[in-house]
Amino acid sequence: MLRHADRLLARLGALRADLDQLVAGEAGRIRVGTFQSAGSRILPGVIREFRARWPEVRVEIREELDETLLLDGVAAGALDLTFASMGPPVPAQLDYTVLLEDRYVLLVPPGSPYRGRQDVTLGELDGLEVIEPPVGVSCDLLLSRAWAAAGTRRETVFRTDDNLTVMRMVGAGVGHALVPELAAEPGLDADVEVVPVTGEFMVRRIAMFWHRDRYRSRATQTFVEIAREVGAQILQPAVV
């Protein structure tokens, strides 16, 4: 009964959002969800191009660490679109398009034996001291599965959800970090080297999600098209 009520409330929220879109016409707003690395690497380019094509439409942005909250927001009608990885469970009423494949890389501090490598595998990193994301977020769950599949262990020395803090900590020699390539910006710290990691689970797919039963304005469809264009330009296809 409770699950039925939750689905009904979510549907009502989506219907209310549809009415808002119809009232606003094509000069209304688009509510977009994002997470940190998509917000810093993909979204700015999308916003820039979207504003050039649809200057009368306001884009409202909501960022969350927990991507499940973003997906639930789209399902409930609180968001029109969201960026999210394919890791968290996707509500049944959502459709999506994959924007890019984001491979994992190793952020290497000064003095590390992995500096200068073309690539590494998790099997070579047994016992590594690492900086990791907060427990329970999608990246943490993926990395935990990857370490387990490789049969290797690591020692977590620090946890943070801030990409800049990760780079600075690696540069200071606190530890290594396994991060998606979108989250790795070598220019932020000259002491940090980026080495690709190969193996199982070492690629995440970034997608744009929307509610399949909701009305989508031409502006919203254009936003998705631009996101695909920008995503295709950011990273080269992953090699696994």
DSSP 32-54: EEE-HHHHHHTHHHHHHHHHHH-
Q: Which pair of structure tokens corresponds to residue 95?
A: 């459709």
- Same domain, yes or no: 62 and 148: no
Cα–Cα distance list, 40 to 43, 76, 162, 185 (Å)? 6, 25, 11, 10
Residue 105 φ/ψ, nearest 5 degrees: -130, 160
Q: Identify the band that residue 25 occupies on the pLDDT scale cut at 50, 70 and 90.
A: very low
Prediction pTM value: 0.83
Look at residue 170 and tell me whether its pLDDT is greater than 60: yes
* Model pLDDT, residue 137: 87
Q: For 140-165, what is the mean pLDDT? A: 93
Q: For 18-32, what is the mean pLDDT? A: 66
Which segment of 176-180, 192-196, 197-201 scores lowest on mean pLDDT? 197-201
Instruction: Round to whole Å and give the CA distance between 189 and 75.
Output: 39
**Is 222 strand, coil or helix?**
helix
At 35, which CATH number?
Answer: 3.40.190.10
Q: Identify the band that residue 15 occupies on the pLDDT scale cut at 50, 70 and 90.
A: low
Which segment of 21-25, 29-33, 174-178, 191-195 scores lowest on mean pLDDT? 21-25
Instruction: Round to whole Å and give the CA distance between 87 and 105.
Output: 17
Residue 57 lies in a domain: yes
Residue 58 lies in a domain: yes
Q: Identify the band that residue 189 occupies on the pLDDT scale cut at 50, 70 and 90.
A: confident
**Residue of 46 and 11 predicted with greater confidence:** 46
- Same domain, yes or no: 76 and 16: yes
**Residue of 13 and 53 predicted with greater confidence:** 53
CA 22 from centroid of its chain's CA atoms: 30
Q: For 188-211, what is the mean pLDDT? A: 92
- Output the furthest CA–CA distance in the chain (Å, rounded): 61
- Same domain, yes or no: 161 and 118: yes
Q: Which pair of structure tokens corresponds to residue 18?
A: 């549809």
Q: For 139-162, what is the mean pLDDT? A: 93
Q: For 60-67, what is the mean pLDDT? A: 95
Range of the domain at 180: 101-203
Residue 240 lies in a domain: no
- Same domain, yes or no: 222 and 172: no
- Tally of domains in the chain: 2
Residue 194 φ/ψ, nearest 5 degrees: -110, 125
Residue 239 lies in a domain: no
* Model pLDDT, residue 43: 97
- Same domain, yes or no: 106 and 52: no
**Residue of 118 and 11 predicted with greater confidence:** 118
Look at residue 10 and tell me whether its pLDDT is greater than 60: no
Look at residue 174 and tell me whether its pLDDT is greater than 60: yes
Q: For 97-113, what is the mean pLDDT? A: 96
Look at residue 128 and tell me whether its pLDDT is greater than 70: yes
Q: For 144-151, what is the mean pLDDT? A: 92
